[in-house]
Amino acid sequence: MRIQIIQVGKTRAPFIKEAEKEYLKRLESMARVEVTTLRESPIPESANKQLRDRSREAEGKAILDALPKDSYVIVLDETGRCFDSLEFAAQLKKIRDFENGKITFVIGGPFGLSDHIKSRANLLLSFSTFTFTHEMIRVLLLEQLFRAHTIHTNKTYHY
């Protein structure tokens, strides 16, 4: 399985960087994972709605340009569908077996994602009704990808 993660903005928090490295290392033998980090719009978090909307649109265009044409696109969004870990593993297996095995996950920046990106998704995915930072969700995604692969291979990680 080939997995691409398109994310907006660099990971700044050292503890999150370390967790990302750890899960990417764990995934090496299970899947090809490529992380594409796009430039975050340089506007302050205190920006007004119009500037935030413009930022989302600019980032959305960059994401669209980076999306492979032949990939199953899963966009992480608070309005998306929630799965438990077993359901998520089954969904990935289904995509692997019945699509072409290429999955692209999209994680927006601090202001979220444009409607263009959401409409391009094959699946909108939510990890929780809680809101997480765009940096924190990266680790959660990597951990769930690792968990899904251990479920598929009957390794002792998911109890």
Superfamily of chain region 2-152:
SPOUT methyltransferase, trefoil knot domain (3.40.1280.10)
Query: pLDDT tens for residues 7-34?
Result: 999 999 999 999 999 999 999 998 999 9
Q: Report the predicted TM-score, pTM, of the whole model to 2 decimal places.
A: 0.93
Domain ranges within the chain, ordered by starting residue: 2-152
Question: Edge to edge, what strands does the sheet with 102-107 contain?
Answer: 32-38, 2-8, 102-107, 72-82, 123-126
Nearest of 20, 142, 2 to residue 71 by alpha carbon: 2
Residue 99 binned pLDDT confidence (cut-offs 50, 70, 90)? confident
